[in-house]
Amino acid sequence: MKILVADDDAVSRHMMQRLLERSGYEVVTAQDGREAADWLAVEDGPRLALIDWMMPELDGPGVCRLVRSRHDRSYVYITLLTSKQSKEDIVTGLEAGADDYLTKPCNPDELKARLRTGMRILDLENKLIDAREEMRFKATHDALTSLWNRGAILADLERELCRARREQGSVSILICDLDHFKQVNDVYGHLVGDEVLQQVAHRLLDSVRPYDAVGRYGGEEFLILMSGCSAALALRRADEVRDAMARRPFATTCGPLSVTVSIGVLTSSDWEDHFTTNQLLNEADRALYRAKARGRNCVCATDPSA
């Protein structure tokens, strides 16, 4: 665990550094309050801090207030080191944002015990953050494929269309539907079908640019959003996606299975701004059904003139 020791007295700073390094901490030091605040603003900086109350540039409570004003950083557990012992001073330090205080000179065993308390609190915060991120992931991603789920990909489409209209750009919508996928489930079972869907998701992600969005639209349908593509480029990219599916069979527990995909393509710049998101999706869906009617394993674009 990385810890900051801020003290304008070089001897005290060095003694504290040696004590903490012997206890297994990675120690960084600061000789005034401004340097301490800068250390605590660094990405991946210390999350434990021992701050002396009286320092030049910025005192200990001032460092606490500055650190607590930054809401975009991980929590820092701050212990103030002070020779002040009045209740009023202690309250001042705690209200400035300190988590704990120690009276100088510090008892080494008490110091280490209090730091262990700080580490438990930081560990609890890490677990809460992990749990929050897991919940956020589950709320926005498909459980089987780990792609964006329907709600998330449609929300992203709405945002991209608004931005494209504002910046006079374009968004290409690719609706991809696996051909005869019901037969895979009927003949080989849904578990094998799930294996295919998971591998389809990987191939889709490998076939698009890192900043394109891929989501599971429903069942065996997938939605791909490509920003800044012309209609011609969107068609070429859609055919690359189609080829990625058809090029080689999918490996399953029942052996290799060949599965192809039909794709409907729409580029928003070809359509008037008054068309709603649902209307554009319906047009892309019509293009998909034309691809199905043409024999499947093919790509078909929308026709605004029709």
What is the chain's mean pLDDT, rounded?
A: 93
Which of 51-65, 121-135, 213-227 is the most confident on average?
213-227
Work out the pLDDT band at 210, boundaries 50, 70, 90: very high
Domain count, the chain: 2
**Of 268, 266, 224, nearest to 245 (Cα)?**
224
pLDDT for residue 78 is more than 90: yes
**86 phi and psi, to 5 degrees?**
-75, 150
Q: Are residues 84 and 190 in the same domain?
A: no
pLDDT for res 262: 98
Q: Are residues 65 and 156 in the same domain?
A: no
pLDDT for residue 92 is more than 90: no
What is the rounded distance in angstroms from the CA atom of residue 32 to the CA atom of residue 7? Answer: 6
Domain contains 40: yes
Q: Are residues 131 and 7 in the same domain?
A: yes
Tell me which of 118, 139, 160 is where a domain ends.
139
pLDDT for res 56: 87
Domain contains 196: yes
Contact 43, 78 (CB under 8 A): no
Contact 207, 223 (CB under 8 A): no
pLDDT for res 42: 87
Q: By mean pLDDT, which of 69-73, 142-146, 247-251 is the weakest? A: 69-73
Hey, what amino acid is at 208?
V
Domain contains 274: yes
For 231-282, write each residue's pLDDT tens digit: 999 999 999 999 999 999 999 999 999 999 999 999 999 998 888 999 999 9
Q: Are residues 37 and 75 in the same domain?
A: yes
Which residues span the domain enclosing 211?
Answer: 150-301
For 20-36, write each residue's pLDDT tens digit: 999 999 999 999 999 99
Q: Are residues 123 and 238 in the same domain?
A: no
Tell me which of 104, 139, 174 is where a domain ends.
139
**Mean of the pLDDT values across residues 184-206?**
97
Tell me which of 84, 117, 139 is where a domain ends.
139
pLDDT for res 273: 80
**Of 4, 86, 20, 88, nearest to 52 (Cα)?**
4
Q: Are residues 159 and 203 in the same domain?
A: yes
**178 phi and psi, to 5 degrees?**
-70, 135
Write out the catalytic residue numbers. Answer: 220
pLDDT for residue 87 is more than 90: no
Contact 188, 138 (CB under 8 A): no
What is the rounded distance in angstroms from the CA atom of residue 127 to the CA atom of residue 291? Answer: 48
pLDDT for res 217: 97
CATH code of the domain covering residue 57: 3.40.50.2300
Q: Are residues 90 and 26 in the same domain?
A: yes
CATH code of the domain covering residue 191: 3.30.70.270
